[in-house]
Amino acid sequence: MVTDRPIVVAGAGAIGCFVGGKLAASERRVALLVRPRVKTEIERFGLLLTDFDGSETKLGAGHLALSEDPSIFHSAGIVLVTVKSADTADVADQIAQHAPQDAIIVSLQNGVGNVAMLNERLGGRCVLAGMVPFNVVAMGEGRFHRSSSGDIHVGEDADNTAAALSAPGLTMRASRDITGVQWGKLIINLNNALSALSDVPLAAQLANREWRKLFADQMAEGLAAMNAAGITPVSATPIPLKWTPALLRLPDTIFNAILGRTMKIDPEARSSMWQDLKQGRRTEIDYLQGAVIALAEQNNVAVPLMRRIVALVKEAESAAKGPPGLTPQQIRGVA
């Protein structure tokens, strides 16, 4: 059975170290393909996986295999792809060269184009889409903090890969409409750019109505583009996405009561795009807003706010000075 063989994480950073660490802590054989700096960090400090509910998992470096050499894929049963979208093609070529032909490949990435890219480069292998709803922040010294709630969704398959990848504190659910779930996550990920441009933690941002209205306006553009293209995004929460812009525009007290019932989010949460700007890395803006803008263009839907946000993120990437700390008014261009 492929599910009895090692799980190899392809490109372990925030998500890969957290998910790989949880699986290793439940006695699965786990190997991480890592950059040298991540290998050194884990060898020195081990892994400390902390959670929004205060729980933590500690793991010595000896619990996982760590390597920067892609031959680490050689006996993989399942490969979890956790690189940023711009690196998918390169890591796919490494998987194609080194992983067994029957290994199951699961993309745990944001965006809606990674599975197609993996299929293109991994012809004939089983590639499943996944969706990670929670946030993980790399805190340094081997600590990876999960700062919001939710279960991972994985496309349904005959091997029940979602069940094989579930562990205490890490539930993976099989989804019959994983494509819809990924489009739904893309709508939520439109906020990554606002988090990155604002330099405000996600919880504080969601507590502020001006930020929520900006998110709602961008979300309405995204939903219009998807609707025009005949795409039905699926919500990962009990709240249907079509109601979400109206909910975001509600006064703080009502909104906070509803949010508190649907998800947990702690003060450390920061989007992955914020982490990219902070570390001077290229962001995933072309794979998030970029994918929605392409859809809008094909269907003659106007998305002016989204276009402005893309320009601001690119400016911040080029300036390489970290998150610029813009206000909602500056982002709208009215300040």
Ligand X SMILES: NC(=O)C1=CN([C@@H]2O[C@H](COP(=O)(O)OP(=O)(O)OC[C@H]3O[C@@H](n4cnc5c(N)ncnc54)[C@H](OP(=O)(O)O)[C@@H]3O)[C@@H](O)[C@H]2O)C=CC1
Separation between Cα atoms, residue 278 and residue 291, nearest integer Å: 23
Residues in the chain: 335
How many other C-beta atoms lie within 10 A of the C-beta of residue 335? 9
- Asked if residue 321 binds ligand X (CB under 6 A), the reply is no
- 135 makes contact with ligand KPL (CB under 6 A): yes
Q: How far, in whole angstroms, is CA 309 from its chain's centroid?
A: 19
Residue closer to ligand KPL, measured from CB, 57 or 182: 182
Which of 134, 144, 183, 211 is close enough to bind ligand KPL by CB under 6 A? 134
Q: Which of 191, 272, 283, 289 binds ligand X (CB under 6 A)?
A: 272
Extract the tokens encoding 216.
């709602």
Tell whether residue 82 is a contact of ligand X (CB under 6 A): yes
Residue 92 binding ligand X, by CB under 6 A: no
Three-state SS sequence of 289-330 = HHHHHHHHHHCCCCCHHHHHHHHHHHHHHHHCCCCCCCCHHH
By the rule CB under 6 A, 205 interacts with ligand KPL:
no
Give residues with Cβ within 8 angstroms of 232, minimum separation 6: 180, 183, 226
User: Applying CB under 6 A, does 189 fall inside the site for ligand KPL?
Assistant: yes
Contact yes or no for 77/23 (Cβ under 8 A): no
Cα(89)–Cα(119) distance, integer angstroms: 10
Site for ligand X in 15-54 (CB under 6 A): 15-16, 33-35, 38
Tell me how far apart the alpha carbons of residues 288 and 40 are, in angstroms, rounded to a whole number: 31
The answer to whether 91 contacts ligand X (rule: CB under 6 A) is: yes
Structure-token pair, residue 168: 């205490």
205 binds ligand X (CB under 6 A): no
> Contact letters (x/-) for ligand KPL, 54-93, by CB under 6 A?
----------------------------------------
Task: Please state the closest distance from residue 1 (CB atom) to ligand KPL, in A.
Answer: 31
Check binding of 98 to ligand X (CB under 6 A). Answer: no
Binding mask 94-133 for ligand KPL (x = CB under 6 A): ----------------x-----------------------
Pick one of ligand KPL, ligand X, none as the site partner of residue 188 (Cβ within 5 to 8 A by kind).
ligand KPL
Residue 214 Cβ vs ligand X, minimum distance, rounded to whole Å = 20
Q: DSSP assignment of 178-213, as one string?
A: HHHHHHHHHHHHHHHHHHHHHT--HHHHHT-HHHHH
> Does 136 engage in binding with ligand X (CB under 6 A)?
yes
**Cα dist from 149 to 96, 131, 256, whole Å:** 33, 13, 16
**Which residue lies nearer to ligand KPL by CB, 192 or 198?**
192
Closest CA to 207 of 270, 254, 256: 256
Q: Choose, by CB under 6 A, the member of 182, 271, 283, 289 that binds ligand KPL.
A: 271
192 forms part of the interface with ligand KPL (CB under 6 A): yes
Assess 85 for contact with ligand X (CB under 6 A).
yes
Q: Does 132 bind ligand X (CB under 6 A)?
A: yes
Nearest to 205 by CA among 239, 244, 242, 255: 255
Site residues (vs ligand KPL, CB under 6 A): 110, 134-135, 188-189, 192, 202, 271-272
Site residues (vs ligand X, CB under 6 A): 11, 13-16, 33-35, 38, 82-85, 87, 90-91, 94, 108-110, 132, 135-136, 138, 272, 281, 284
